[in-house]
Amino acid sequence: MIIREAQRTLRALAAGFPIVSVTGPRQSGKTVLVKATFPKKPYVSLEDPDTRELVDADPRGFLHRYRSGLVIDEAQRSPRLFSYLQTIADESRQPGRFVLTGSQQFGMLSGISQSLAGRVGILQLLPFSIAELRAASVTLPDLDRLLFRGLYPALYDRKLIPQHWYASYVMTYVERDLRQMLNVRELAPFQRFLRMCAARVGQLLNLSSLAIDCGITHNTARSWLSVLEASYLVFLLQPHFRNFGKRLVKTPKLYFHDPGLAAWLLNIQDPDHLSLHPQRGGLFECLIAGELLKARYHRGLPSNLYFWRNNTGDEVDLIVDRGDELFPVEIKSGQTLNADLFTGLDRWRGIAGSASGGCLVYGGNESLRRRETRIVSWRDIDAGRLVGG
């Protein structure tokens, strides 16, 4: 078993809150994590229709049966449960008594905000990070194979062909769950929407263009995208709000949490095909931005990532807001270093008046330094150090 970086955070939350919630995409390892962290707690899954019917019929009696504590998987499937958990949490502040998991932010977080605010410690769990694989002595493949394979735990726990696994994942979870949430009657437009989102990874989001290409309305595109976000399939990277005397772009960028899923949606057939694909750079940005996001989420912290771009074309791929400084990170998928790769960082220093040279994460295998700038191979990335906190 690969030890998750989030396990330490989960234990810390359970020591201070009566209820702990673990959310994240399906198949990101939530159940494995909570069972490994709390091996003595009883476990029930509300995916089981019989169990869910029992809970819905008598939530008070169900919780009374597990007075000493319980792990409840896919807790958002029984919304009534949250009010009863609130009563129990208020009666007894015993830390770490109940552990909830869920794969949809809408159900979990709305239930928490309405009934359990202040009583729940929240952890967001994403698929494996490069650091977790390194710590487990898992041999990292070359970059194109990693982008093609992605980082979902199932692809490292079992001998699975990525194309087969992603086809099943999308059919079983993505299409089923999201179509139910959105009440989508025709599958084809939704499938097209998923693939068009993958075709836009690392790009500024243009909802109107996305809607036209998919043959749906602007409002439908907005609704579908919000559900993809809530299901931890995609995330929007917001532009940094600080004005440096030039007009800034205000449109977010679109990324997938896992490059392997995006590669499958792009119909990339194998790592060799990926190496020549026009979206290779966008998939590499997904990988690196995702690594930094995991470093925050797995420590129980919100994202502090932005990008910066002005109307003259000056741009930095990531801006890490560390509170006392803004730290720029450029992401380049190429293996060859040249002066052009540092243009964005050089212009950032001039406009922002920053002494920090920032960091360049690239697709090569050697880490070194160029004057003010740290040059980091994707293999050596220390996301925790970069994001701070």
Domains plus CATH for the chain?
6-124 (3.40.50.300), 130-387 (no CATH)
Query: What Å distances lie between residue 34 and 67, 99, 112, 346, CA to CA?
Result: 18, 8, 18, 45
Going by pLDDT thresholds of 50, 70 and 90, the confidence category of residue 101 is very high
Read off the tokens for 88.
């129990």
pLDDT at 112 over 70: no
| Each residue's pLDDT tens digit, 52-88 | 999 999 999 998 899 889 999 988 888 888 888 888 8
Q: What is the pTM assigned to this prediction?
A: 0.93
Q: Which amino acid type is present at position 121?
A: G
Q: Which helix (H) or strand (E) holds 164?
A: helix 162-169
| Each residue's pLDDT tens digit, 124-162 | 999 999 999 999 999 999 999 999 999 999 999 988 999
| Choice between 91 and 252, residue whose per-residue pLDDT is larger | 252
| Each residue's pLDDT tens digit, 254-275 | 999 999 999 999 999 999 999 9
The CB density around residue 117, as the number of other CB atoms within 10 Å, is 9
User: Who's near 174: CB < 8 A, 6+ residues apart?
Assistant: 194, 231, 233
% of the chain at pLDDT higher than 70: 93
The pLDDT of residue 172:
86
| Three-state DSSP state, 205 | coil
Residues 217 and 219: their CA atoms lie apart, in Å, by 5
State the average pLDDT over residues 166-184. 81
The pLDDT of residue 105:
63
pLDDT at 188 over 90: no
Q: Measuring CA to CA, which residue among 18, 31, 3 is closest to residue 101? A: 31
The pLDDT of residue 187:
77
Residues 36 and 1: their CA atoms lie apart, in Å, by 10
